[in-house]
Amino acid sequence: MTRIAAILPAAGLGTRMGAETPKQFLELNGTPIVILSLRRIASCPLVTELIVATRADEIQRLAERIAKEKFKQPVRVVRGGDSRQDSVAAALREVPNEAEIVLVHDAVRPFVTVEQITRVIEEARRCHAAILGIPAMDTVKEVKRASLPEDVALITGTIPRERLVMAQTPQVFATKLLKEALARAQSDGVNASDEAGLVERLGRDVHVVLGSERNMKITKPADMELARFYLDRETQKA
């Protein structure tokens, strides 16, 4: 059986949420978002182990909370870094050498489905790098700031929507490939917003598997209300 390690970077401060508590530890119906996200990833039988990277002062509390879940897979909580990339790198160092594939999932995407997780893993097995994504629905403009006021920009072009997708997670890679991408980024002083961007820098292809709008990333106060709605609907159906 292929060993597949799942990494959840959970060390961010979540400043856009405007709350004292980092967004991954905010609760939906009494459960921290990071726990809801862990439950989703752990529910995929292909995942053999989980590693959560969080801030040093949260390690013990999070580990104790995770222990209450009694996941079938072993779960480790490690110290993360100042950026997402640093946290992923820290967790990756804890991935066993036997793990051929690594999955990275946002700690604040609690609505991904087992089917989506399975599908993106299968694609990564085939091509070594795959992510979930959805088509861009809005018209996207390329702009420049020039000498305009801070809240004004000049349009320099319109990017065709058919060429755009909105990246989601999980993002799944051959372990050796992700390690190489992170090492190259560190050497070059590059900090990317997602792992796919680092792999792209190596000139490697990354495939996109269709995700869904429900696989939302909770970042703003308004997202909490939508997330509660989704969770309530799921509870009613259960």
Query: Confidence band (pLDDT; 50, 70, 90) for 236?
Result: confident
Residue 160, domain member (yes or no): no
Task: Write the single-letter amino acid at 202.
Answer: L
Residue 140, domain member (yes or no): no
| Residue 55: C-alpha distances to residues 44, 119, 153 (Å) | 26, 31, 37
Cα distance between residue 108 and residue 189, in whole Å: 27
Give the domain range for residue 31: 3-131+168-237
- For position 148, what pLDDT does the model report? 82
- CATH number of the domain that 35 lies in? 3.90.550.10
Average pLDDT over residues 58-68: 96
Query: Confidence band (pLDDT; 50, 70, 90) for 147?
Result: confident
The mean pLDDT of the chain is: 94
Cα distance between residue 185 and residue 84, in whole Å: 13
Q: For residue range 94-132, what is the model confidence (pLDDT) as tens digits? A: 999 999 999 999 999 999 999 999 999 999 999 999 999
Residue 139, domain member (yes or no): no
Query: Confidence band (pLDDT; 50, 70, 90) for 223?
Result: very high
Residue 143, domain member (yes or no): no
Query: Confidence band (pLDDT; 50, 70, 90) for 229?
Result: very high
Structure token pair of residue 211: 């995700």
The β-bridge partners of 129 are 173
- For position 17, what pLDDT does the model report? 62
Cα distance between residue 122 and residue 94, in whole Å: 23
Residue 215, domain member (yes or no): yes
Maximum separation of any 2 CA atoms in the chain, in Å: 58
Structural domains of the chain, count: 1
Residue 152, domain member (yes or no): no
| SS (HEC) of the chain | CCEEEEEEEECCCCHHHCCCCCHHHCEECCEEHHHHHHHHHHCCCCCCEEEEEECHHHHHHHHHHHHCCCCCCCEEEEECCCCHHHHHHHHHCCCCCCEEEEEECCCCCCCCCHHHHHHHHHHHHHHCEEEEEEECCCCEEEEECCCCCCCCCEEEEEECHHHCEEEEEEEEEEHHHHHHHHHHHHHHCCCCCCHHHHHHHCCCCCEEEECCCCCCCCCCHHHHHHHHHHHHHHHHHC
